[in-house]
Amino acid sequence: MNTSVKDFTASPEFRLLIIMVFVFGLMSVLSPDRFLSSQNLTSMAFQFPEFAILALAMTIAMMTGGIDLSVVGIANLSAVVAALILTHFSNAEMPAAQSAIWLAIAITAALCIGAIAGLINGSLVAFFGLPPILATLGSGLVFTGFAIAMTGGSAVMGFPDTVALIGNATLAGVPVPLILFAVLAFLLHLVLTRTAFGLRVTMYGANPLAALYAAIDINRMLLKVYVIAGMFASVAGLIIMSRANSAKADYGSSYLLLAVLIAVLGGVNPYGGYGRVIGVVLAVLSMQFLSSGLNMLGVSNFARELIWGALLILVMVINTHAVTALRSSLKPPK
Amino acid sequence: MTDWLPKDFWTRNETLVAGVIMLFCFVATVSDPRFLTITTVSDLLRASIVIGILAVGAMLVLVSGGIDVSFTAIAVFAMYSSTVLSLTIWPEIPWPVIFVISVVFGAALGAINGFFIAFLGLPTLIVTLGTLSIFRGFLLTFIGSQRISDLPPSMRDFSRGVIARGTTEAGNFYSIPWAALALLFVIVLTWFILKKTMLGRSIYAIGGSVESARRIGINVKWTQFFVYVYVGALAGLAGIIHGSVGRMADPFSLVGLELSVIAAVVLGGARLIGGYGTLTGTMLGVALIVIVQNSLIVIGIPTTWQSVTIGILILLGTGVPAYRAKRAAAQAG
């Protein structure tokens, strides 16, 4: 019992919990009437899921020691395809039931695009032996490029009202994007901790060679990892589309950095082998509190970018040195 | 290497890229005979100068086994802040001085990357992603976010300087600016460092294997530190040339270009795992990316497909050698 408490307080997740509580407390003190208002809390709950889901996608890729730089490209391509289906086949005069069917078809198409894109990434990494950075850098350009080619670079808009359900509605008072995020986060947590697949992902990330000798079907596993990342990205794309009420090839370009930042901040090891969904969730909340709080204090977007970057490096320094300290404390005493 | 051609001539990336470039030029000339003129060549050369200098830096980082995505932010930071500094303190500044200031700013920012990477041992991608947003955020928050079009007069003089200019028989104007000499200088200097100095050999060695390099007595930390400072300095130079030639200090320019530059370098045969990369390959990669960006429309592909084309080129250019290496490893094992 004593040791498990000690383990917990030494974990990156515990440090994150403290950071999150600290940021929340700081913002509440600095701007109590505005930061703690129910209006702000609701608006935060609508804002963060779109990039938080991209961070989950990044998390599973990073668990294998890879990275997925194409998540924003996949999100926008999925959204553009869904948007084109919606604008071509449905309109405001259509009965609600009929437009709901088209919405379902558009969502399915978007998820398929995410899965296919993930399959492409996974094949490049698994069968062609491309380093994940290059594979997803190249494929990200291709996905974005297709979205540009399909739309001529302009935004697709003019959706039926039902589309707003994904990004702007509430279910029993809880924002739908928040529910989507919670479900995906919980699913990813279960997959990583309760399934054989999750164990393989962690093993492969920790030591690819050992995983090879343990007769793990690595190619199959990598394909699944990138397909999951791709489908998560397409869900994020649908949320962005619904909230912006349009789809465009270059939406959310700042989200790529943010997704990497959140995953690393959440304690996911970019070399693979370690990562917990709870850490990512805490990191997302810290970032959102920081972002909304700074916004209320009148800090510009550019300064926010500066603070995010500084936070990323600071956390990496702390984590790297905490890991080094932990390793040296585990060595047998001389 | 005693043969006229290197043994791996037909299988190396340089040959592949040169072949693609020649094919592209052939198709372009067939579809529009005006393509193969000195005007096109001088336009493409002018477009390659800034990307070329940045690519030399990116190649050096890849050779050392790292990856840098912050150099565009360094370039724009150095360019904009040295311009602002000159305008407030010494508007009549001669251009060589402002160039030196920009290079020093670049080297200083590169030293920040070098500190975190070499001395604190953080992953290069994460550090440079972080510093990318720090440099850019700092520039736009504290130095300025306005475009400046009335630059110090000497910068405009620099952009007017040309090595050669003239008009073709068909009446098309062409010119090769002094800035092209800067690219040449950077290539020669980097070639010298890589091939003729212990430092250069050390960069290849740590890219090949950090542990082996350490055991033969190479100072890994200082070599890595040097790489990031040098890359920062090159970025500072590329930035100020970009500002001078474009006659505008735009704090929103360049950032976003980093992945295309890395793509060009990787196309030229540099490997992400380090230890391998050549200047010839890098320049061929730059040429291919610049030609695709500027002349796709000549061979009848609309510019909206530009991104797809470059993405596919990256996947093919890196996928073919990666696949071959994987097959070779499987056969050996």
Asked if A248 and A76 touch (Cβ cutoff 8 Å), the reply is yes
Average pLDDT over residues A14-36: 87
Say how many CB pairs under 8 Å bridge A and B: 143
Q: What is the pLDDT of residues A189-231, one digit of tens each?
A: 999 999 999 999 999 999 888 888 888 899 999 999 999 999 9
Per the structure, the count of domains in chain B is 1
The structure tokens listed for A30 are 């600095």
Reported as a pLDDT band with limits 50, 70 and 90, residue B5 is: low
Q: Exposed, middle or buried, B88 (CB in 10 Å: 0-12/13-18/19+)?
A: exposed
- B331: in domain: no
- B171: in domain: yes
Q: Exposed, middle or buried, A267 (CB in 10 Å: 0-12/13-18/19+)?
A: buried
Please list, residue by residue across A200-236, b when 16 or more beta carbons sit within 10 angstroms of its beta carbon and e when fewer do.
bbbbbbbebeebeeeebebeebbbbbbbbbbbbbbbb
Asked if A53 and A242 touch (Cβ cutoff 8 Å), the reply is no
Which residues from chain B sit within 8 angstroms of residue A134, using beta carbons?
A: 266, 272, 314, 318
| pLDDT reported for residue B77 | 96
pLDDT at A31 over 70: yes
Asked if B153 and B92 touch (Cβ cutoff 8 Å), the reply is yes
**From the list B133, B256, B304, which residue is nearest A308 (CB)?**
B133
**From the list B123, B137, B310, which residue is nearest A270 (CB)?**
B123
Query: Cα Rg for chain B, rounded, in angstroms?
Result: 20
* Interface test mutation site (partner B, options A300, A312, A318, max chain B beta carbons within 10 A): A312
**In terms of CA atoms, which chain A residue is nearest residue B307?**
A145
Give the CATH number for residue B78: 1.10.3470
**CA gap A281, A271 in Å, rounded:** 20
**CA gap B253, B7 in Å, rounded:** 43
**From the list A142, A304, A317, which residue is nearest B122 (CB)?**
A317
**From the list B132, B273, B322, which residue is nearest A309 (CB)?**
B132
**A61 CB near a chain B CB, below 8 Å?**
no
Which residues from chain B sit within 8 angstroms of residue A70, using beta carbons?
A: none
CB contact under 8 A, A270 and B125: yes
CB contact under 8 A, B322 and A300: no
Q: Mean pLDDT for chain B?
A: 87
Reported as a pLDDT band with limits 50, 70 and 90, residue A236 is: very high
**CA gap B145, B215 in Å, rounded:** 48
Instruction: Supply φ then ψ for residue B233, to 5 degrees.
Output: -65, -45
CB contact under 8 A, B314 and A141: yes
Average pLDDT over residues A244-265: 87
Asked if A180 and A196 touch (Cβ cutoff 8 Å), the reply is no
**B312 CB near a chain A CB, below 8 Å?**
yes
Asked if B15 and B267 touch (Cβ cutoff 8 Å), the reply is no
Residues 6+ apart with CB under 8 A from B328: none
**CA gap B159, B182 in Å, rounded:** 12
- B225: in domain: yes
| pLDDT reported for residue A54 | 96
| pLDDT reported for residue B1 | 44
Instruction: Supply φ then ψ for residue A247, to 5 degrees.
Output: -135, 140
Reported as a pLDDT band with limits 50, 70 and 90, residue B283 is: very high
Which residues from chain A sit within 8 angstroms of residue B133, using beta carbons?
A: 257, 305-306, 308-309, 312
**B38 CB near a chain A CB, below 8 Å?**
no
CB contact under 8 A, A137 and B120: no
- B329: in domain: no
**From the list B120, B138, B325, which residue is nearest A306 (CB)?**
B138
Q: What is the pLDDT of residues B102-136, one digit of tens each?
A: 999 999 999 999 999 999 988 898 899 899 989 99
**In terms of CA atoms, which chain B residue is nearest residue A312?**
B130
Place of tokens 């200082």: B222
DSSP A208-220: HHHHHHTT--HHH
**CA gap B140, B195 in Å, rounded:** 39
CB contact under 8 A, A309 and B310: no
- B7: in domain: no
**From the list B141, B259, B325, which residue is nearest A129 (CB)?**
B325
- B330: in domain: no
SS3 B322: helix
| pLDDT reported for residue A254 | 79
pLDDT at B174 over 80: no
| pLDDT reported for residue A334 | 45
| pLDDT reported for residue A5 | 63
Reported as a pLDDT band with limits 50, 70 and 90, residue B44 is: confident
**From the list A129, A149, A302, which residue is nearest B137 (CB)?**
A302
Inter-axis angle of helices A49-63 and A71-89, to 10 degrees? 130
Which residues from chain B sit within 8 angstroms of residue A137, using beta carbons?
A: 259, 262-263, 314
- B1: in domain: no
**CA gap B157, B92 in Å, rounded:** 12
| pLDDT reported for residue A1 | 45
**A325 CB near a chain B CB, below 8 Å?**
no
Q: Please report the residues numbered 44 through 83 in chain B whose beta carbons come closer than 8 angstroms to any beta carbon of chain A.
A: 67
Average pLDDT over residues A282-306: 88
Q: What is the pLDDT of residues B191-238, one digit of tens each?
A: 999 999 999 999 999 998 888 898 988 999 999 999 999 999 999 999
**A169: part of which helix (H) or strand (E)?**
none
What are the helix (H) ranges across chain A?
2-10, 12-30, 32-35, 38-47, 49-63, 71-89, 96-126, 132-151, 164-168, 176-194, 196-206, 208-213, 218-244, 255-265, 277-296, 301-330
Q: Please report the residues numbered 218 through 237 in chain B whose beta carbons come closer than 8 angstroms to any beta carbon of chain A.
A: none
Instruction: Supply φ then ψ for residue A169, to 5 degrees.
Output: -90, 165
**From the list B137, B304, B315, which residue is nearest A306 (CB)?**
B137
**B311 CB near a chain A CB, below 8 Å?**
yes
**B257 CB near a chain A CB, below 8 Å?**
no
Q: What end-to-end distance do the CA atoms of chain B give, in Å?
A: 28
**CA gap B74, B82 in Å, rounded:** 12
Q: Which domain holds residue B305?
A: 23-321
Domains and CATH numbers, chain A: 55-290+304-314 (1.10.3470)
Place of tokens 């400046």: B148
Cα dihedral across residues B309, B310, B312, B317: positive or negative: positive
CA proximity to A305, closest of B142, B291, B213: B142
Average pLDDT over residues A228-240: 96
CB contact under 8 A, B319 and A128: yes
Q: What is the pLDDT of residues A109-127, one digit of tens each?
A: 999 999 999 999 999 999 9
Residue A247 DSSP label: E
| pLDDT reported for residue A126 | 93
- B326: in domain: no
**B319 CB near a chain A CB, below 8 Å?**
yes
The structure tokens listed for B78 are 């150095």
**B134 CB near a chain A CB, below 8 Å?**
yes
CA proximity to B232, closest of B126, B73, B83: B73
Asked if B174 and B42 touch (Cβ cutoff 8 Å), the reply is yes
Distance from CA of B263 to the nearest CA of A (A): 8
